[in-house]
Amino acid sequence: MQTNPTHTSLVALGDSFTEGMSDLLPDGSYRGWADLLAARMAARTPGFRYANLAVRGKLIGQIVEEQVPVAAAMGADVITLVGGLNDTLRPKCDMGRVKGLLTEAVERLTPACKELVLMRSPGRQGPVLERFRPRMEELFTHVEELAARHGALVVDLYGAPSLADPRMWDVDRLHLTAEGHRRVAEAVWQTLGHDAEDTEWHTPMPATLPPGWGARRVADARFARQYLLPWIGRRLTGRSSGDGLPPKRPDLLPYEERAQEERA
């Protein structure tokens, strides 16, 4: 792998993970690991361009139909693709179809960029996700196979102990905190061949006393009321939190470093 390579452009594809939820900025928008990564790359390369086509809630079929052709036509140096995890969390999931669509995406994107970056997405511990874990791991195995076949890079977030820590996850238990996104950006940065800025991104935070039984029950009740039940309702009715929303940054344009800093 080239050390400290020069890349002039980045296009990010995916769902809420790549959109940046729940790394909330003061203006109500989301930042996230892809924006943080773009900021680092832009600091090294004048005129660096960045697009983020991610939309929360998107399934792999929607990513392939709506985002892949747009990204392939942009001719970016680096493309990141993270998708399929939302499919595995649906009550009915055809894993053969999911893997076939992911294969199609990789085959279309590989010749359209210099570096294609795939990921084994992070996953916290918890009873809600445990029932879907076999599907998730089947998806991640397929990601590794595709990367080996097509020469793509893989960022292993699933195997990082730090990102399994509940403190890295927002109160909805589905999206990373700002610190979690920072660590993901560091992981991708290193995978692309850059010198580490944080050699311990994968190391868990120091242990703290867990919350008491009462605090846990209150948190569980709040989570179920505000997040779990609405999430289940959307899954059962085929709706998505991203219905009607546009891509985060639909055009491959120069990275707006000053605007990003002011928002942060």
* pLDDT tens profile 141-156: 999 999 999 999 999 9
- Return the domain boundaries, the chain: 9-200+213-258
Which segments of the chain are extended strands (E)?
Answer: 9-13, 49-52, 78-81, 115-120, 153-156, 249-254
> Does residue 25 carry a pLDDT above 50?
yes
Strand order in the sheet with 249-254: 153-156, 115-120, 78-81, 9-13, 49-52, 249-254
Percent of the chain with pLDDT over 70: 80
How far apart, in whole angstroms, are the C-alpha atoms of residue 4 and residue 59?
33
At the fourth CATH level, the homologous superfamily of domain 9-200+213-258 is SGNH hydrolase (3.40.50.1110)
What's the pLDDT score for residue 62? 96
More confidently predicted of 215 and 262? 215
Which residues have a Cβ under 8 Å from the Cβ of 1 and sit 6 or more positions away?
A: 193
What's the pLDDT score for residue 253? 97
What's the pLDDT score for residue 258? 41
For every residue of 1-13, DSSP letters joined together read: --SS----EEEEE
> Does residue 80 carry a pLDDT above 90?
yes
What's the pLDDT score for residue 212? 60
Average pLDDT, the chain: 86
Q: How far is CA 238 from CA 5, 61, 150, in A?
A: 42, 14, 33
What's the pLDDT score for residue 44? 93
Among 45, 43, 32, which residue's Cα sits nearest to residue 80?
32
What's the pLDDT score for residue 2? 72
Among 211, 128, 132, 131, which residue's Cα sits nearest to residue 167?
211
pTM for the model: 0.85
How far apart, in whole angstroms, are the C-alpha atoms of residue 168 and residue 171?
10
- DSSP code, position 204: P
What's the pLDDT score for residue 5? 87
What's the pLDDT score for residue 264? 43
What's the pLDDT score for residue 261? 42
More confidently predicted of 159 and 155? 155
